[in-house]
């Protein structure tokens, strides 16, 4: 066998192995355990007691309450499948923190069944739609189409072209 | 230059002696394209798009630099590995030189993506950094780039350093698909990350234009800087050859 062919086989084999490694890492990282726990996992006791972890989920609509005397705020994190955990925090909440939106908070479960968070982060999704356009679409009970033509947006938002 | 009916011998340019002047001619073209495209992309992104999005305010506009640099960081890694593999198989000097020239621009792109991401993260998520899968794997990409450059400069014998670093680059390729696919899950309840899904499906078309044109501009910038660096590497490695000693810029 020519040395060059040997080298080609070596490189192809290496590539196959790298591909396999990559697939395995990706698969391992799909599991939620890598980064955060859902309310369901916490309620079914899959999270060790007293450990610090990240709790991910949506902020339940109408659940946000701020204390009148202290800095403390409370809200309910839900997975929209009936699993809910109340979060207590006295930290500054990020700009994007909103009811109905995703959040990730880090802290511990207290003995009283409340989650005491040291840090609350807001997630944002991969949607980049002008606010006015979204309102129009929502009013018409339409989902935003996958690719909206630029001229329509300009017409709706009154933007100069 | 060449009559149209004449075949161009591409292998001619795998010799550093012939590649050097060709790269010199291409560099100004890529610089011009880079400036024009980045200028157009950023202009479009800043003046032709909405100020306020559904959930984000003006600061979302860092997306044009962030996405372009992140894409280029991953793409340049693939390009670097391709050059390294060609070098390993065919033992061509120029491929290794191109691989190491690509590594530095790739590192710069990775740093830009991480820094703009941190700024964006502070304003939108509420934190500069978090050990989220996407952020962590991207940091690993930076370390692999730095490791590649370090390994290359740690071994004095260029033939050995080229081969060793090419192998490292090949193994490190495993991280690129992980960055891209690992955190992409459509259900926000299940998404085990802080970073959003990487999807262009719900991006308004003017924002998309800004992103894509800027990315193209970053790509042209990468071509220009990689070719410039490759020319320097050629001069350094071939300094004892007669064609280099005859170059005008060397004899000045």
Domain assignment present for B5: no
Domain assignment present for B241: no
Question: What tokens were used for B81?
Answer: 């590995």
Domain assignment present for A55: yes
Residues B74 and B123: their CA atoms lie apart, in Å, by 25
Residues A118 and B215: their CA atoms lie apart, in Å, by 38
Residues A99 and A73: their CA atoms lie apart, in Å, by 13
Whether residue A21 is found in the same domain as residue A40: no
| Best mutation target, B44, B169, B174, to test chain A (most A CBs within 10 A) | B174
- Do A85 and A76 form a contact (C-beta atoms < 8 A)? yes
pLDDT in tens, B193-245: 788 877 777 788 888 999 999 999 999 999 999 999 999 999 999 988 999 98
Mean pLDDT highest for which of A134-138, B34-38, B127-131, B186-190? B34-38
Backbone angles phi, psi at A115, to 5 degrees: -100, 115
Residues B223 and B33: their CA atoms lie apart, in Å, by 10
Whether residue A17 is found in the same domain as residue A79: no
In chain A, residues 81-110 whose CB comes closer than 8 Å to chain B: 81, 92-98, 101-102, 104
Domain assignment present for B161: yes
pLDDT in tens, A93-136: 888 888 888 889 999 999 898 999 999 999 887 778 877 665 66
ipTM value > 0.95? no
Q: Which of A127, A147, A153 sits opposite B54 (nearest CB)?
A: A127
Domain assignment present for A42: yes
Q: Which of B55, B57, B189 sits opposite A57 (nearest CB)?
A: B189
The three-state secondary structure class of A58 is: strand
The reply to whether residue B125 touches residue A94, judged by beta carbons under 8 angstroms, is: yes
Question: What tokens were used for B36?
Answer: 């024009």
Strand segments (E) across chain A: 53-59, 65-66, 73-78, 84-89, 102-109, 115-122
Question: What tokens were used for B146?
Answer: 């730095």
Partners of A66 in the β-ladder: A73
Domain assignment present for A157: no
Whether residue A65 is found in the same domain as residue A118: yes
Whether residue A49 is found in the same domain as residue A118: yes
Domain assignment present for A7: yes
Mean pLDDT of the B7-16 span: 76
Domain assignment present for A149: no
The DSSP 8-state label assigned to residue A126 in this structure reads S
Whether residue A49 is found in the same domain as residue A21: no
Residues B113 and B34: their CA atoms lie apart, in Å, by 18
Question: What tokens were used for A87?
Answer: 């979060």
Question: What tokens were used for A31?
Answer: 């599991």
B37 is in which domain, residue-wise?
A: 26-235
Q: Indicate the number of domains in chain A.
A: 2
Distance (Å) from the C-alpha of residue B211 to the closest C-alpha of chain A?
Answer: 12
Residues B99 and A78: their CA atoms lie apart, in Å, by 49
A71 is in which domain, residue-wise?
A: 36-122
Q: Indicate the number of domains in chain B.
A: 1
Whether residue A42 is found in the same domain as residue A118: yes
User: CATH no. for residue A96?
Assistant: 2.40.50.140
Domain assignment present for A90: yes
pLDDT in tens, B49-72: 888 877 788 888 999 999 999 999
Domain assignment present for B183: yes
- Do B174 and A18 form a contact (C-beta atoms < 8 A)? yes
Distance (Å) from the C-alpha of residue A12 to the closest C-alpha of chain B?
Answer: 9
Distance (Å) from the C-alpha of residue B174 to the closest C-alpha of chain A?
Answer: 5
Whether residue A76 is found in the same domain as residue A95: yes
Whether residue A93 is found in the same domain as residue A20: no
């Amino acid at each position: 066998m020519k040395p060059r062919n040997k080298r080609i086989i070596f490189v192809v084999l290496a590539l196959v192995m790298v591909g396999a490694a990559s697939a395995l890492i990706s698969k391992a990282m799909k599991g939620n355990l890598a980064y955060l726990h859902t309310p369901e996992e916490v309620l079914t006791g899959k999270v060790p007691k007293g450990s610090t972890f990240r709790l991910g989920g949506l902020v339940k609509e109408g659940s946000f309450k701020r204390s009148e005397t202290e800095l403390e705020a409370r809200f309910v994190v839900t997975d929209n499948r009936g699993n809910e955990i109340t979060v207590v925090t006295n930290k500054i909440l990020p700009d994007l923190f909103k009811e109905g939106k995703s959040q990730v908070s880090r802290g511990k479960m207290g003995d009283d069944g409340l989650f005491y968070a040291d840090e609350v982060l807001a997630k944002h999704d991969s949607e980049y739609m002008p606010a006015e356009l979204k309102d129009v679409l929502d009013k018409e009970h339409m989902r935003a189409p996958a690719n909206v033509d630029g001229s329509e947006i300009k017409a709706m938002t009154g933007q100069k072209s | 230059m060449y009559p149209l009916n004449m075949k161009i011998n591409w292998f001619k340019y795998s010799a550093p002696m012939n590649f050097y002047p060709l790269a010199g001619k291409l560099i100004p073209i890529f610089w011009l394209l880079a400036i024009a495209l980045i200028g157009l992309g950023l202009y479009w992104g800043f003046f032709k798009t909405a100020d306020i999005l559904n959930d984000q305010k003006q600061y979302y506009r860092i997306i044009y630099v962030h996405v372009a640099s992140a894409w280029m960081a991953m793409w340049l890694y693939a390009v670097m590995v391709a050059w390294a593999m060609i070098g390993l198989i065919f033992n061509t000097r120029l491929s290794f030189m191109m691989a190491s020239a690509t590594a530095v621009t790739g590192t710069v792109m990775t740093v830009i993506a991480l820094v703009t991401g941190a700024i964006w993260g502070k304003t939108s998520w509420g934190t500069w950094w978090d050990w989220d899968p996407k952020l962590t794997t991207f940091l690993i990409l930076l370390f692999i780039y730095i490791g590649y450059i370090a390994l290359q400069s740690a071994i004095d014998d260029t033939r050995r350093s080229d081969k060793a670093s090419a192998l490292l680059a090949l193994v490190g390729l495993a991280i690129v698909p992980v960055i891209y696919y690992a955190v992409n899950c459509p259900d926000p309840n299940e998404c085990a990350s802080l970073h959003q899904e990487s999807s262009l499906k719900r991006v308004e078309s003017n924002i998309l234009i800004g992103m894509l044109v800027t990315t193209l501009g970053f790509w042209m910038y990468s071509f220009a800087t990689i070719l410039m660096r490759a020319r320097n590497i050629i001069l350094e490695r071939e300094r004892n050859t007669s064609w280099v000693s005859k170059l005008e810029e060397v004899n000045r």
